[in-house]
A and B are shown apart, each in its own frame.
Chain A
Amino acid sequence: MNRKPILTVLGLVIVLSMALAACGTPATEPATEAPSEEPITLRWRTRPDNQAEIDVYQAVSDAIQAQLPAGITLVYEPGGAETSSYQDVLKTEIAAGTAPDVFWIPGTDVADFASRGLILNLNDLASQTPDFNMDDFYAAPMAHMTHNIETGAEGAGSGALWGVPRDVSTFVLYLNLDLIIEAGAPDPRELAAAGEWDWEAFYDVATRVRALGPDIYGYGANAWWGPYGVWMNAAGGGFYNTDRTACGLDSAASLEGLAFQRSLYVGDNPVAVPYGEDSEPPFMAGRVAMFQNGRWATPGVRANANFNWDVVALPTGPSGHMGDWLFWGAYVVNANTAHPEEAWQLVQRLTTAETQAMISELGTNIPSRVSQEAIDAFLTFTPPDNNQAFIDSLMDDPVAEGPLWAGSWPEFVAVMDPAIQALMTGQTTLEEFQISICAEANRTFNP
């Protein structure tokens, strides 16, 4: 029997059937192309840091899917981690028209996305939703989320709503209690409880631990705007002027904060992991007494720290405050989505108290809803034992991580970051920094 024709026909049938099957597959098509009569597929995305987080978000997606009416299918897409440029990929997909319907972005990026017209103004949809109340969420992030680009107005009635905050977080110091005890230094938690946890006390603890050996450090933080910003905030300064329309890095208060931070890295008695080095590995290796990081670092510390650890709030600065950030990120809706109403419903479901509780249990963040129940639930997610430190920071008038509506945040940080790096590594002096930083940084603001 000549089998060649059979095999040829078989091969052709398979290729043709694949082509036909591809035509009929409900593919992940660009959001704009889906006709309204067809079943709706809503895609949503977050920036998880690990598989455990992906699993939680998938469980959230499954739970919401079960509540949705027939005909709507949810597809959760874990985006790349922070190190794999989540935002770069997202913007590229938006440019190509293949971005998901709903996605999470950090608070600093909201202005960039909104002013480029990449995200939908949800104000009209929200005003038709009786159950939605802006006051349920922390006020500072909501002020930024309701910024009207044309009028500059903020808050309910501004005519703008760019999304809903998913979570909030603050910085704390992760403590290696074994090192602190070995150094004979006072316990920062007790100092904080006694109201004596200020810059001087912090420096004292760091110095004592540093004296334990050349490879032991009193303090460590990674080199980005978050850690160095708190020192400026705590001194009463900040990145911008009061109305956020110009650079504030050369103000006396900002310089005071930077001067203190610089003393941790350069000078007679540097106590910190060298600026620019990743501080997490030495902390996990038990060589850093106080590691500054947010709630998102908790799962990693839980999994990897082989020493006694806990957390304490940041020390109080000259302004009388810790100067902590209120970090936040928000779910926003793709401006080109074919299903704005369904996407808005999804955003609401993703930010309910129940959903936020599911995610908070993972330990990575704090619910963005202001409620005693949410805080009480959060406090039970231990370790660390001193979860209250996060809440104390929240209550100490933290500076909300904010989009720069009057300029370009990426351009601003591209000027600020190298200048701070040079300052913290001793390449430039504070005077040199002061002379030119704002002349350079002010060019990144809108004329």
Chain B
Amino acid sequence: MKASIQLEAADRRTVILLRAAVIWHIVLAIAGLAGGLLVWLRAGDMLLWLRLPLGALLVLTAAASSLTALFVQRGRHSGRVLSLAVNYLGFLFCFLGGMHVLGMFTGIDSLASTFGRGIPYLGGVLAGYLISALGDRYENHPERRQMLKRVGKVVMLAFMATFLLAIGTLSGLLAVVRRFTSFLPCLLVGGGLLFGLMIWALWRRDSAVALGASTAHEQMLNGFLFLSPNLLGFLLFFAGPLLLSLYFSFTNYDATTHVSDWVGLQNYARLFNLTIAPLTTPDQPVTEALDMTVYDELMRFNFFERSFILGAQDKLFWIALRNTIVFCLLAVPLSVIPALFLANLLNSKLPGMKFFRAIYFLPSVAAVVGVALIWQWLYNAAVGYINYSITSAVTTINTLFGSAILDPQIRWLSDTRIALLAVVIMSAWQWIGFDTVLFMAGMQAIPRELYEAATVDGAGRWAQFRRITIPLLGPTTFFVVTTAVINALQLFEQVYVLINTEPPGGPANSTLSLVLYLYVRGFQRFQQGYASAVAWVLFIVIFGVTLLQYRRQRSGAYA
């Protein structure tokens, strides 16, 4: 009753605009429904993963528009909210689509060179502006002031015109006009204008009052407007691809051939398809124990004095999973524990500490690729500095003490037992600096009074560290460990660049990580469906581990 009274009290212009909005939303609802049906029934050659969300989006638009028309007609403010949301999204769609069909996004790639041609003329514009500004200095000489201003304007205009010509604005304008001869740009620009008009019609104060908007409503709309860039970005570039990859994981999608058939749980079944077979002797050939048309040998083990063989349909997935877990178990403690002690050391106020803090942080800001290439040289078994140092040390010790220590000649990157360790060492070295900074920030938040009180009570440095620093660093430790674990489980660049074998993950798959395997499947073999399944398994692993850590934090394990 209250709403209709406000609507009746609205001025004639507002009433017309609101009626226009109702009609617009009815038209939009019909168009959305028709478009949805058309996409679903007629666009048979469109890929399912594209047809499904597009059809759903159009039907959703139809539903939202129908509700909007109904609510606005009844003078309810929820109609205004819905209308603004639908029109805002529609406007963005038309605006971005228009820019795309006008070739703006592809043109931006080479705009740098085009625009570079005009930059010198911008200097002329600046000179004209300065001449014009110089006129202000001659307040007592009006003629001179006028003359300088006029000259300045002419110079600015001349150079601006030259600038516009030089960067190709004219040809751009012509290109835009030429593209308007086809239907799509006109449709998008027209649609954008209509959506924009409806936004204005519903946003204006009189419309808001007529639909019973309160201050809280206005604040909510403003809040969502400010949130919208981030929210839309999240939906478009994170949540959307995430859901799409979930869908792909149930298909055999190949991005190069665009084959995308629904295969259900087949990808997951292949990943987890394991078999165990008893062995007559521990060294029985795998070909006799397993069906080699399906399975590969993963491992052999003894159970109650009987030998068994474990086979997997996708052995590489299990190898990658094992390597990733081993890497995580080694790299996280090797980076976090030294970082804690290093932070304690660097947290003192000794001279030169700032310098050392910068030094230790340097590896964290260095690019992984550059770091990996340097370590590749250091690790070279024949001419690398690490083996050279070990050889020199062994020779010196043997010479000094007459011992006969053997030079290990470690094959850092080619020995399957060592290669993953080499990756661990390099990664831990790179992560320590960042973890140290986080620990230092945590330490500096601990009140000094606690240490002073502990000192008065007779506590030594170690007792203070153990009883005050470590417990109060609990939240920082939780953050550091959680992010380190997530980073470790996403191991990719270090192996890809440092080990640099073809196929990746060598030697003999000993450094193959889950993300690397995902990359091989998805971007070397283009089995995006299968790679998506691997990605979701990795996501579940990371999610599970993080959840576990949250629970441990709540139980005070990090204190």
Partner of B508, one of A23, A24, A425, A443: A425
Contacts of B376 in A (CB 8 A): 278
Contacts of A276 in B (CB 8 A): 411, 413-415, 501, 506-507
Q: Which of A87-95, A236-244, A364-372 lies at the binding interface?
A: A87-95
**Is A410 in contact with chain B by the CB < 8 A criterion?**
yes
- Return the chain A residue nearest B291 by Cβ: A439
- Return the chain B residue nearest A416 by Cβ: B503
**Is A55 in contact with chain B by the CB < 8 A criterion?**
no
Is there contact, CB below 8 Å, between B111 and A425?
no
Is there contact, CB below 8 Å, between B526 and A28?
no
- The minimal Cβ–Cβ distance linking B239 to chain A, given in whole angstroms, is 22
**Is A223 in contact with chain B by the CB < 8 A criterion?**
yes
Is there contact, CB below 8 Å, between B414 and A223?
yes
Q: A285-B383, A436-B292 are in contact. Are A21 and B503 (CB under 8 A)?
A: no
Is there contact, CB below 8 Å, between B526 and A91?
yes
Q: Which of A10-18, A136-144, A309-317 lies at the binding interface?
A: A10-18
Number of residue pairs A-B, CB distance < 8 angstroms: 196
Contacts of B136 in A (CB 8 A): 1
Is there contact, CB below 8 Å, between B286 and A17?
no
Q: A22-B104, A277-B411, A410-B525 are in contact. Are A421 and B506 (CB under 8 A)?
A: yes
Is there contact, CB below 8 Å, between A23 and B115?
no
Q: What's the tally of chain B residues with a CB closer than 8 Å to chain A?
A: 73
**Distance, CA A243 to CA B76, complexed state (A):** 77
Is there contact, CB below 8 Å, between B413 and A443?
no
Find residues 74-91 in chain A having any chain B CB closer than 8 Å to their own CB. 83, 85, 87-88, 91
- The minimal Cβ–Cβ distance linking A367 to chain B, given in whole angstroms, is 27
- The minimal Cβ–Cβ distance linking A186 to chain B, given in whole angstroms, is 25
- Return the chain A residue nearest B496 by Cβ: A85
Is there contact, CB below 8 Å, between B114 and A21?
yes
**Is B307 in contact with chain A by the CB < 8 A criterion?**
no
Most chain A CB atoms below 10 A, which of B391, B411, B414: B414
Partner of B172, one of A24, A117, A419: A24
**Is B365 in contact with chain A by the CB < 8 A criterion?**
no
Interface residues of B (CB under 8 A from A): 99, 102-111, 114-115, 122, 125, 129, 132-133, 135-136, 160, 163-164, 167-176, 179, 254-257, 285-287, 292-293, 296-297, 316, 376-377, 380-383, 391, 407, 409, 411, 413-416, 500-503, 506-509, 520, 523-526
Q: A276-B414, A417-B506, A427-B416 are in contact. Are A435 and B380 (CB under 8 A)?
A: no
Is there contact, CB below 8 Å, between B129 and A6?
yes
**Distance, CA A18 to CA B507, complexed state (A):** 51
Q: Write the A403-427 contact mask toward B (1 if CB under 8 angstroms, else 0).
A: 0000010110110011101100101
Chain A interface size, as a band, is: 35 or more
4 other A-B residue contacts (CB within 8 Å) besides A418-B507, A425-B414: A17-B172, A215-B391, A277-B411, A421-B508
**Distance, CA A117 to CA B257, complexed state (A):** 7
Contacts of A288 in B (CB 8 A): 382
Contacts of B168 in A (CB 8 A): 20-21, 24-25
- The minimal Cβ–Cβ distance linking B284 to chain A, given in whole angstroms, is 10
Q: Write the A270-296 contact mask toward B (1 if CB under 8 angstroms, else 0).
A: 000111111101100101100000000
**Distance, CA A275 to CA B500, complexed state (A):** 14
Determine the main DSSP class of A at the interface with B: helix
Is there contact, CB below 8 Å, between B416 and A28?
no
21 contacts between A and B (CB under 8 A): A1-B136, A18-B115, A19-B104, A20-B168, A20-B176, A24-B173, A25-B168, A88-B524, A217-B382, A276-B414, A277-B414, A278-B376, A278-B380, A410-B503, A413-B503, A417-B501, A418-B503, A418-B508, A421-B506, A425-B416, A436-B285
Contacts of A273 in B (CB 8 A): 381-382
- Return the chain B residue nearest A275 by Cβ: B414
- Return the chain B residue nearest A25 by Cβ: B107
Q: A92-B523, A223-B414, A277-B414 are in contact. Are A23 and B103 (CB under 8 A)?
A: yes
Contacts of B381 in A (CB 8 A): 273-274, 277
**Is A26 in contact with chain B by the CB < 8 A criterion?**
yes
**Distance, CA A443 to CA B122, complexed state (A):** 65
Is there contact, CB below 8 Å, between B507 and A223?
yes
- The minimal Cβ–Cβ distance linking B431 to chain A, given in whole angstroms, is 24
Contacts of B287 in A (CB 8 A): 435-436, 439
Contacts of A28 in B (CB 8 A): 106, 109-110
Q: A117-B257, A277-B380 are in contact. Are A421 and B167 (CB under 8 A)?
A: no
**Distance, CA A149 to CA B315, complexed state (A):** 31
Contacts of A25 in B (CB 8 A): 103, 107, 110-111, 114, 168, 172
